[in-house]
Structure 1
Amino acid sequence: MSQRMLDSAFRRYGVDAVYAPPRGGAPVPCHVIFAQGDVLADGFNSSARISEVRASEVPTMKEEGTLTIGGKTYTIQAARQPDPDRLLWRLELR
């Protein structure tokens, strides 16, 4: 996926959020897109919330940091960069 396509998707579907690193540090405003949870073998969705954040907005994402969206705060359980160009963070939230 190109940076241009990614930026377009975030303008259209992204919502405002704030990332806060664990154990202090300056909060970082960003935009997130919520994705579907994984579909389990029995056809039900997992309970994990998945979100995606552009690496251009938050270059370093740490597990146990938090994402605040619309007044609700989620803890980052896992942070991965699944695309080969590392343009995107995929986060599992709890």
Structure 2
Amino acid sequence: MDRRPLGWLAGQRERGDRILGVELADEAVRLAGLAPAPPPAVTVLGHEQHGIPPEALDLLDECLEIPMVGPGSSLNTAVACSLASHKLAGRL
């Protein structure tokens, strides 16, 4: 098993896991439009200010956008993870 983050992520994708990133991107799906994920799925979250590194973006199957009101452009990482996890589990 590769212990480097990008190597591990690539391995999960090769296994057939759905790789979803929480990131602002042109092709991002809004939280409300995301279908629940059949297991296994991996959620990738980036730094609150810098986002997901470009080399990791290439490994994503889909990007998820969490709509926000106001001038902010990012949520606390734990909050973003909670929202995405609940949606992927079919609970939102």
Please say whether Structure 1 and Structure 2 have the same fold, judged by a TM-score greater than 0.5: no
Q: Which has the higher contact order (CA 8 A, sep 6+)?
A: 2
